[in-house]
């Protein structure tokens, strides 16, 4: 689904060979997508860094030892996320104003994180363990950029239940971006960070079909869920999204086998991820507020499903059933 009118070639670490916006010749500046630029922090931890420029229009070599490689991944991730917002959500950039954020790579030394920052309107990526696994995979880029989208819409407060919903929104949209790209090795999955080897043993950072597989996340809502770290209280909402998209039980998608349980032992049939993310986005941008928790997210998504597909539609009923299946009634 990803196309570029530009001619730059990116040899990424995680997404194979891709096309990049590189105008004027040659810099990492995507003029077709709000002028999104990618900068080199070169180990620094502040400031904007230096815009990536090049004498040829080939960027990176697929290896983290080449410092353009992480830049190619980050630049590509921002472009696909931009296209996903535009073509799937009908949104012109993070704020809906056609203006791009920017990306910074090579933050610090062996820094194992990536983050969005409202104050710079930018995304930042560390180089990961041993500086060999930069945090620039497509799902992570989509996750970070979607923190900007959440800030521009519901602005879910980053603590308690609203914080879990903020995190889940980034996982839901980051995952949706990965499926949308369907490019080369990015076939799409319901795992977060499966390519960055953040645990050193090949396992992903998070699992949407059964979030507790990470050892920390909750599968279901309970009164105590809001006391968890936001990256674990996101679990029930990620699980909701998986169940709404794909249904319960065992399912193999693009070679990955999932097994998604339900709180009430109900059997669910999914409505497909495209309808699911359209419902989530409409809820986020129309009905959720900074203090929305799980109960409010249920109401918001039911209102969104009603707007999009009709109250009492199969989609509306599937939303209600998926919330019940994670113990939100």
* Only segment of 139-147, 262-270, 275-283, 307-315 that touches Ca ion (CB under 5 A): 139-147
Can you name the residues that pair with 122 across neighbouring β-strands?
102, 117
User: Does position 139 bind Ca ion by CB under 5 A?
Assistant: yes
Q: Which of residues 162-221 bind Zn ion (CB under 5 A)?
A: 170
Judged by beta carbon distances under 5 to 8 A according to partner kind, the member of Ca ion, Zn ion, ligand ASN, none in contact with residue 114 is: ligand ASN
155 contacts: CB under 8 Å, gap ≥ 6: 289, 290
User: Does position 131 bind Zn ion by CB under 5 A?
Assistant: no
* Only segment of 60-68, 132-140, 143-151, 310-318 that touches Ca ion (CB under 5 A): 132-140
End-to-end, the C-alpha distance of the chain in Å comes to 37
Q: β-strand 206-207 against 58-59: which pairing, if any?
A: unpaired
Q: Which helix (H) or strand (E) holds 29?
A: strand 29-30
User: Does position 189 bind Ca ion by CB under 5 A?
Assistant: yes
Each residue 138-157 as x (binds ligand ASN by CB under 6 A) or -, in order, gives -----xx--x----------
- Compute how many residues bind ligand ASN; rule: CB under 6 A: 7
CA distance 115 to 145: 9
Each residue 114-143 as x (binds ligand ASN by CB under 6 A) or -, in order, gives xx---------------------------x
CA distance 236 to 225: 9
Alpha-carbon distances of 61 from 13, 64, 73, 130, 242, rounded to whole Å: 8, 8, 11, 18, 35
**Annotated catalytic residue 231:** yes
Contact residues for Ca ion, defined by CB under 5 A = 139, 178, 189, 191
Contact residues for ligand ASN, defined by CB under 6 A = 113-115, 143-144, 147, 167
């Amino acid at each position: 689904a990803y196309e570029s009118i530009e001619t730059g070639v990116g040899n990424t670490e995680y997404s194979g060979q891709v096309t990049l916006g590189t105008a004027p010749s040659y810099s990492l500046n995507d003029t077709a997508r709000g002028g999104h630029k990618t900068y080199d922090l070169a180990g620094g931890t502040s400031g904007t860094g230096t815009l990536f420029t090049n004498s040829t229009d080939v960027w990176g070599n697929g290896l983290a030892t080449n410092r353009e490689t992480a830049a190619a991944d980050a630049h590509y991730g921002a472009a696909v996320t931009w296209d996903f917002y535009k073509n799937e959500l009908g949104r012109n950039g993070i704020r809906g104003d056609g203006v791009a954020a920017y990306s910074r790579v090579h933050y610090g030394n062996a820094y194992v994180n990536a983050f969005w920052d409202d104050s710079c309107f930018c995304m930042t990526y560390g180089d990961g363990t041993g500086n060999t696994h930069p945090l620039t995979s497509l799902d992570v880029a989509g996750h970070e950029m979607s923190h900007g989208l959440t800030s521009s819409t519901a602005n879910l407060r980053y603590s308690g239940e609203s914080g879990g919903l903020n995190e889940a929104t980034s996982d839901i949209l980051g995952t949706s971006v990965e499926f949308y790209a369907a490019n080369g090795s990015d076939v799409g999955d319901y795992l977060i960070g499966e390519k960055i080897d953040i645990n050193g043993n090949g396992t992903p950072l998070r699992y949407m079909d059964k979030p507790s597989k990470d050892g920390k996340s909750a599968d279901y809502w309970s009164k105590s869920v809001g006391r968890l770290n936001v990256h674990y209280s996101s679990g029930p909402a990620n699980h909701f999204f998986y169940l709404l998209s794909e249904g319960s039980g065992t399912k193999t998608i693009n070679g990955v086998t999932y097994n998604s349980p339900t709180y009430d032992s109900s059997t669910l049939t999914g409505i497909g991820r495209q309808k699911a993310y359209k419902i989530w986005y409409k809820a986020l941008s129309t009905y959720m507020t900074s203090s929305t928790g799980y109960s409010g997210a249920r109401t918001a998504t039911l209102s969104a499903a009603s707007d999009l597909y009709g109250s009492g539609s199969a989609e509306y009923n599937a939303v209600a059933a998926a919330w019940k299946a994670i113990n939100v009634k």
